[in-house]
A and B are shown apart, each in its own frame.
Chain A
Amino acid sequence: MPLDKFLQLLLSGISLGAIYALVALGFVLVFKATSVLNFAHGSFLMLAAYLTSTLLGSLGLPFAVGLLVVALSLAVLGVVLHYTVMQWMVGKAFFSVVLVTVGMEIVIRAVILVFWGPLERGRVQGLPQGTFSVGGAVIPYVNLIILAAAGILVLAFLVFFNRSRMGLHMRAVADNLEAATAMGIDRNVVYAGAWAIGLLLAGVGGVLYAHFSPSVNLGLGVIGLRAFPAAILGGIDSVPGAIVGGMIVALVENIGAGYLGAQWRDVIAFGIMFLVLLWRPSGLFGTKELIRV
């Protein structure tokens, strides 16, 4: 039944979209608060997926504990990265900073090779493995849990970003750095916080993706590259845009690849980004300057 197949692709696309949304959100947050385009974002997701395969797969930690440990480790890594590396790049030329993140990506990949070796590892099975069917589509429980976990985290992030004091300071720095500094907001604290939360989101994305993907391997960093079309399509500086963009990219990609073949995944993801940008140059939700003089 062709409709069954479509429903199947649609529903698994929604779970994938929830992961993309998380990853794109972290990417957008780091860009918004620190003006750094983080090309290493996907490798943090990959690192988290490898940690997951060790903690949940090999050591058999319960899902919730493993999730917490990986998420917090990545958050701490974000703070450390800011104070040891990125802090010194503040105010440097845009492309120098971008290249530093490219270098970071290479280092993380090397670290993974050293600790985990080049062989791929199986799908992590830290969640209930059964399935259920909806109107002819077979849905693994895993997909449902991924959707719920990602959804809760996105909501938690939105509350943090829009309601908390730290979130306010992040938005202030993103809006006008000099004014924020004049009000006594310490930009290093905000930057470190943005890196921590950006990596935390990538980390949770990695934990979930390790349960979703057929295997954990050195190709997972590509998921980070999916954050680009998702974030850019939504509007590179827009938080809701990242969420919607992640969902759109995942759905179109999943459904498209389901019919055309997996080799088209990346083409489709970047293809829709291209089309949206032709139509709306600053993305779906990207804001132009909102200033009245």
Chain B
Amino acid sequence: MTDSGLLVANLSVAYAGSVTALRGVSLRVPRGSIVTVLGANGAGKTTLVRAVTGLLFVHDGKIREGTITFNGKPIHTASATAVVKHGICQVPEGRMLFPRLTAEENLLCGAATRRRSPEIDLDLERVYQLFPVLGERRRQPAGLLSGGEQQMLAVGRALMARPRLLICDELSLGLAPMVVAELFRLLRQLNETEEMSILVIEQNARVALENSHYGYVLETGQMVVEGDSGTLRADPHVQELYLGGAGEAKAAYQALVRQYRNAIA
């Protein structure tokens, strides 16, 4: 099972002061697929990202239980550096750029774990082809770019790591619909042409389900529903809570949740 993709099994995470943020979460991102995790604020989405990428320690969080493997190798005890070297890189929530570094320097930081080589320069050019505006503003401090440009820079920076799994945490947050559509079009293109696996963490369920193969719904630290993205889009509860559809589907949804819980128990 060398290219089984990302497997999260029965993951529980707690922060210092014993706030349990994730409880028994399981998830699979098969190689070459786009998988989305939906959930409201505080559902634990970013905690999931931190657990996968070795960043829990920054926030005094710890994995209490469960395993995370990537292409068969356990990574739940790996350092953030090791995770990037394994081929997982993220576009963090809130972009988390280096505001005083230039756009180009931000991109070069994305290649921090790679060996110095001319390929890095080629990848830089490739990012400028994907986002010509970044090429024009390569010498400007990242903090002075517009919101959309900053998000493009965050995506470009992650691509500079040459990830086999790209994790996008709240990519759409605070961006104009046109920019969001453009970024997701790019993600699909990367997925199709380079077989890059992508994990999309989103509050914006509509755009996430339209652009993914498979989806999960996370609520207060637990997975409550999963399914093909098309199926989830048609699901009454998902429609009601995440797609803004018309109501009266509560009971049907609760049945679905019970059914799912029984199935994974």
Residues of A within 8 A of B (CB): 165, 168-169, 171-172, 175-186, 287, 289-293
Q: From residue 108 to 158 of chain B, which have CB atoms closer than 8 A to chain A?
A: 108-110, 112-113, 116, 141, 143-147, 157
Q: Which of A168, A179, A290 contacts B141 (CB 8 A)?
A: A290
Q: How far is A89 from B55 in the complex, measured between Cα atoms in Å?
A: 19
Q: How far is A181 from B81 in the complex, measured between Cα atoms in Å?
A: 7
Contact with A along B67-99 (1 / 0, CB 8 A): 000000000000111011100011010001111
Q: Which of A169, A172, A181, A293 contacts B58 (CB 8 A)?
A: A181
Q: Which of A171, A185, A292 contacts B100 (CB 8 A)?
A: A171
Considering the complex, give the chain A residue whose CB is closest to the CB of B105.
Answer: A168
**Across the interface, do A292 and B144 meet the contact criterion of CB distance under 8 Å?**
yes
Considering the complex, give the chain A residue whose CB is closest to the CB of B79.
Answer: A186
Contact-residue bracket for chain B: 20 to 34
Q: Which residue, A165, A176, A182, A290, has most C-beta atoms of chain B within 10 A?
A: A182
**Across the interface, do B101 and A185 meet the contact criterion of CB distance under 8 Å?**
no
Q: Which residues of B contact A186 (CB under 8 A)?
A: 79, 81
**Across the interface, do A168 and B108 meet the contact criterion of CB distance under 8 Å?**
yes
**Across the interface, do A172 and B109 meet the contact criterion of CB distance under 8 Å?**
yes
- Chosen A-B contacts, 18 in total, with CB atoms closer than 8 Å, are A168-B101, A169-B109, A171-B100, A171-B101, A172-B109, A178-B55, A179-B98, A181-B55, A181-B81, A182-B53, A182-B80, A182-B89, A182-B96, A183-B84, A184-B80, A185-B113, A287-B100, A290-B143
**Across the interface, do A184 and B85 meet the contact criterion of CB distance under 8 Å?**
yes
**Across the interface, do B143 and A180 meet the contact criterion of CB distance under 8 Å?**
no
**Across the interface, do A182 and B113 meet the contact criterion of CB distance under 8 Å?**
no
**Across the interface, do B112 and A184 meet the contact criterion of CB distance under 8 Å?**
yes
**Across the interface, do A290 and B53 meet the contact criterion of CB distance under 8 Å?**
no
Answer yes or no: B161 CB below 8 A from chain A CBs.
yes
Considering the complex, give the chain A residue whose CB is closest to the CB of B141.
Answer: A290
Q: How far is A117 from B55 in the complex, measured between Cα atoms in Å?
A: 49
Q: Which residues of B contact A182 (CB under 8 A)?
A: 53, 55, 80, 84, 89-90, 92, 96
Q: Which residues of A contact B144 (CB under 8 A)?
A: 290, 292
**Across the interface, do B141 and A183 meet the contact criterion of CB distance under 8 Å?**
no
Q: Which residue, A179, A180, A289, A292, has most C-beta atoms of chain B within 10 A?
A: A179
Q: Which residues of B contact A168 (CB under 8 A)?
A: 101, 105, 108-109
Chain A nearest CB: distance from B255 CB in Å? 40
Q: How far is A171 from B143 in the complex, measured between Cα atoms in Å?
A: 14
Q: Which residues of A contact B97 (CB under 8 A)?
A: 176, 179
Q: How far is A178 from B79 in the complex, measured between Cα atoms in Å?
A: 13
Q: How far is A185 from B79 in the complex, measured between Cα atoms in Å?
A: 10
Q: How far is A242 from B70 in the complex, measured between Cα atoms in Å?
A: 46
Q: How far is A181 from B50 in the complex, measured between Cα atoms in Å?
A: 11
**Across the interface, do A185 and B109 meet the contact criterion of CB distance under 8 Å?**
yes
Q: Which residue, A176, A287, A289, A293, has most C-beta atoms of chain B within 10 A?
A: A176
Q: Could you list 15 further interchain pairs (A-B, Cβ under 8 angstroms) beyond the known A185-B113, A289-B143, A293-B147?
A: A165-B116, A168-B101, A169-B109, A175-B101, A176-B98, A176-B99, A178-B92, A178-B96, A181-B58, A181-B80, A182-B84, A183-B89, A287-B100, A289-B99, A292-B146
Q: How far is A31 from B248 in the complex, measured between Cα atoms in Å?
A: 58
Given the interface contacts A168-B105, A178-B55, A180-B98, does A185 sit within 8 Å of B143 by beta carbon?
Answer: no
Q: How far is A180 from B101 in the complex, measured between Cα atoms in Å?
A: 12
**Across the interface, do A172 and B101 meet the contact criterion of CB distance under 8 Å?**
yes
Q: Which residue, B92, B96, B143, has most C-beta atoms of chain A within 10 A?
A: B96
**Across the interface, do A292 and B143 meet the contact criterion of CB distance under 8 Å?**
yes
**Across the interface, do B55 and A185 meet the contact criterion of CB distance under 8 Å?**
no
Q: Which residues of A contact B109 (CB under 8 A)?
A: 168-169, 172, 179-180, 183, 185
Q: How far is A290 from B97 in the complex, measured between Cα atoms in Å?
A: 12
Q: Which residues of A contact B85 (CB under 8 A)?
A: 184
Q: How far is A84 from B100 in the complex, measured between Cα atoms in Å?
A: 31
Q: Which residues of B contact A185 (CB under 8 A)?
A: 81, 109, 112-113
Q: How far is A180 from B113 in the complex, measured between Cα atoms in Å?
A: 11
**Across the interface, do B80 and A292 meet the contact criterion of CB distance under 8 Å?**
no
Chain A nearest CB: distance from B170 CB in Å? 14
**Across the interface, do B55 and A184 meet the contact criterion of CB distance under 8 Å?**
no
Q: Which residue, A181, A183, A290, has most C-beta atoms of chain B within 10 A?
A: A183
Q: How far is A290 from B92 in the complex, measured between Cα atoms in Å?
A: 19
Considering the complex, give the chain A residue whose CB is closest to the CB of B113.
Answer: A184
Chain B nearest CB: distance from A186 CB in Å? 5
**Across the interface, do B161 and A184 meet the contact criterion of CB distance under 8 Å?**
yes
Q: Which residues of A contact B143 (CB under 8 A)?
A: 289-292
Q: Which residues of A contact B79 (CB under 8 A)?
A: 186
Q: Which residues of A contact B110 (CB under 8 A)?
A: 183
**Across the interface, do B83 and A184 meet the contact criterion of CB distance under 8 Å?**
yes
